[in-house]
Structure 1
């Protein structure tokens, strides 16, 4: 069986920013919820993996916003797997207005890890055997190592974060959306108040856990583009690398 997950949401106040636009963390949380529901339909949900000693981990995520929905607006969110490989599964998302207008789209790359070893493993057979929906138009696969991952740069802004209990998910590591919220909260006031994100591209590098100390860094790459890094304060290991484009 192949499944396209379609969910309808009416935007609530806490899912919007100070200007009434849907916030990026809120959108990513809804995308994650729809992805979870789709995974359950396929028999590869969180509980299905945990019972076999595995967990899901997001490795790559790219989101492009064409138009922001606003408070009280009803939107439709679609998600489905597009390709299953030996080590990765690829998933797309589409955000639609109630008249069918494409508001935003995202593509992502996920891996499976061993809960015991906390290390990536080949995609288990019960996931490899799933069928992707017919008739879809998949977005291009994200490069595993985008150019910005190796671009040398020095941070001009830095903020320290202590991982709190409510940033931890069922896999017992920081939820992927929490990193994005910290990244955005560390942006300068003028950018947050006068611009909106057109695109954000994320590379998740390693886990972090409750009470970890993280360093959130950013620097201007071009007039409308920023580079971002979140690293473990103690070890200096990269946790997240990102590039954001604003308009």
Structure 2
């Protein structure tokens, strides 16, 4: 079977916008996840298909570029397709279009499979590797390589993990990590600049009752910030990211 891509349509809702009346990045990533879910259902490799084998999808990395943020009530289409596969990785790309086919943003991502019982990463199961990956559109460059390490935090927050932070996999959902990373930035930056690009790596899970330390500092490049989220209990790095603003 060929792993063909698909597309899903959405309308930006009032609780997903910022003070400018534009969709927030966590909201747009949630739409990307919904479009990916719709596509994997048609391929027989959705999260529910994996859960029947005590496995699940987990997002390992995502790099997003935004050219324009859609406004409240604006209709968008999210196109998505499997863009590549390795022994333990599945690459998936996204493009967000306006109603008149303006390219609003794009993203590339890396997905792994986790054993739900052992809470360990495993190789892609045979029913996934049996799929023939046929990219629907020109693949984006894979998100690879290291990000610069944050050495000393300029801004820092302690965030308790609560019930509504937890997803179907019983750990903190990736959009919540993104929200925490962005919320730690100074208000002046969030008010005066727009997030144009972010590269985010998810390294470990956190669960209900944990406390997450969100740290951020300016990078050497103008308008670029480095982010680190870690566990207060263990000191383990949970998330690393680099964001660019203009």
Give your verdict on TM over 0.5: yes
CA displacement, residues 99-128 of structure 1 (integer Å, 9 cap, x when unaligned): 111100000000001111111111111011
Instruction: Tell me the number of residue pairs that the alignment of Structure 1 and Structure 2 aligns.
Output: 244
User: 4+ runs of 1 displaced by more than 2 Å?
Assistant: 131-136
More divergent stretch after superposition (119-128 vs 130-139)? 130-139
Aligned equivalent of 1:154: 152
**How far 1:9 moved relative to its partner?**
1.1
CA displacement, residues 203-247 of structure 1 (integer Å, 9 cap, x when unaligned): 100010011101000001132000000000011100000000001
Shift of the 42–32 alpha-carbon distance from structure 1 to 2, 3 Å rule, reads same
Aligned equivalent of 1:110: 111
CA distance in 2, matches of 1:244, 1:185: 12
CA distance in 1, matches of 2:49, 2:3: 17
Question: Residue 4 of structure 2 contacts residue 135 of structure 2 at CA under 8 Å; is this kept in 1?
Answer: no
**How far 1:30 moved relative to its partner?**
0.8
**How far 1:187 moved relative to its partner?**
1.0
Tell whether 2:93 aligns with 1:95: no
**How far 1:131 moved relative to its partner?**
2.3
| Correspondence list, 1:94-243, <5 A | 94-143=95-144, 145-148=145-148, 151=149, 153-221=151-219, 222-243=221-242
CA distance in 2, matches of 1:207, 1:86: 22
Residue 100 of structure 1 aligns to a residue whose secondary structure is coil
Residue 211 of structure 1 aligns to a residue whose secondary structure is coil
Residue ranges of structure 2 left out of the alignment (5+ in a row): none
- Relative to the length of structure 2, the TM-score reads 0.96
- Relative to the length of structure 1, the TM-score reads 0.96
Residue ranges of structure 1 left out of the alignment (5+ in a row): none
**How far 1:152 moved relative to its partner?**
5.0
Question: Residue 81 of structure 2 contacts residue 135 of structure 2 at CA under 8 Å; is this kept in 1?
Answer: no
More divergent stretch after superposition (1-10 vs 169-178)? 1-10
**How far 1:135 moved relative to its partner?**
4.9
CA distance in 2, matches of 1:228, 1:134: 32
CA displacement, residues 162-221 of structure 1 (integer Å, 9 cap, x when unaligned): 111111111111111010011111110100100110000001000100111010000011
Question: Residue 3 of structure 1 contacts residue 41 of structure 1 at CA under 8 Å; is this kept in 2?
Answer: no
